[in-house]
Amino acid sequence: SNVTMLLDLPEACLASIAVHLPPPDVLAFLSAHGDINDHLSNSASFWGTLLARDRDEESDSTKKSDQSCDEVRARFMLQSYKSYLPRVKWLPLHCPNFPLSPREGHLSCVLDGP
């Protein structure tokens, strides 16, 4: 079957497939099979690559990180939640000092604004 053929791929190929998916599909891909999840979800470098991709940064796989896999995964999840626009629920912000449209409010959150 197709799943068996997919599972026969090396971990680097599975990671390459996941890196080319949008954030919600990355999670769907990881949950497609336990072996895929086991190989990729516990890799800090995998989550770091996704995080760098979504921030339009260069990924440096040779750079050592002091962060655990859980910390990097959490940063990716938060970044994805804040920046994946099709999944954003626009809420009006009621701030008399800074009247913002819902989109401006979202961009302000993503860009660490006021």
pLDDT confidence of residue 113: 45
pLDDT of 59 over the 80 cut: no
Q: Answer yes or no: pTM beyond 0.75.
A: no
> What is the rounded CA–CA span in Å between residue 64 and residue 45?
9
pLDDT confidence of residue 90: 60
> What is the rounded CA–CA span in Å between residue 37 and residue 42?
8
pLDDT of 62 over the 80 cut: no
pLDDT confidence of residue 98: 65
Band of pLDDT at residue 85, cut at 50, 70 and 90: low
Instruction: State both tokens at 107.
Output: 């961009």
33 to each of 26, 43, 55, 83, how far by Cα in Å?
12, 16, 27, 27
Greatest mean pLDDT among 6-15, 56-65, 103-112 lies in 6-15
Between helices 44-54 and 11-19, what is the axis angle to 10°? 20
H or E element: which one contains 40? helix 34-40
Nearest of 114, 88, 113 to residue 103 by alpha carbon:
88
Q: What percent of the chain has pLDDT over 90?
A: 13
In the chain, the amino acid numbered 35 is D
User: Per mean pLDDT, which range of 37-41, 70-74, 85-89 is the poorest?
Assistant: 85-89
